[in-house]
Amino acid sequence: MDILDKSIALGYITGKIALKNLEVTLHEMSIIDHPNAGRIQHRVEKLINAFNTLYRTMEKNMDKEGLKEVSEKIELLVDEIWD
């Protein structure tokens, strides 16, 4: 795998993890009725949409089994972090 492929893959993985963490943050902010929850939610939703638009093409061109495996590993990693 060359440097470009590695950098795209690492950006994808770290971006997915960051978005999962932001989703948890939004959920927790809504539970405690944080005064900035609405404003932050709006910005996070814009970030999620931008991320999904950016990586949609890459996901289409990735090996489906490889993408599934990476997604499962990301889920496990996020679960381990939050335990």
Q: What is the pLDDT of residues 3-56, one digit of tens each?
A: 777 777 788 788 888 888 888 888 888 888 888 888 888 888 888 888 888 877
Q: According to the model, what pLDDT value does residue 83 have?
A: 66
The DSSP secondary structure of the chain, one letter per residue, reads: --HHHHHHHHHHHHHHHHHHHHHHHHHHHHHTT-TTHHHHHHHHHHHHHHHHHHHHHHHHHS-HHHHHHHHHHHHHHHHHHH-
pTM: 0.65
What is the number of structural domains in the chain? 1
* pLDDT computed for residue 56 by the predictor: 78
Highest mean pLDDT, choosing among 2-6, 29-33, 57-61, 66-70 = 29-33
pLDDT for the residue numbered 7? 78
Q: pLDDT value at position 19? A: 83
Residue 13, domain extent: 3-82
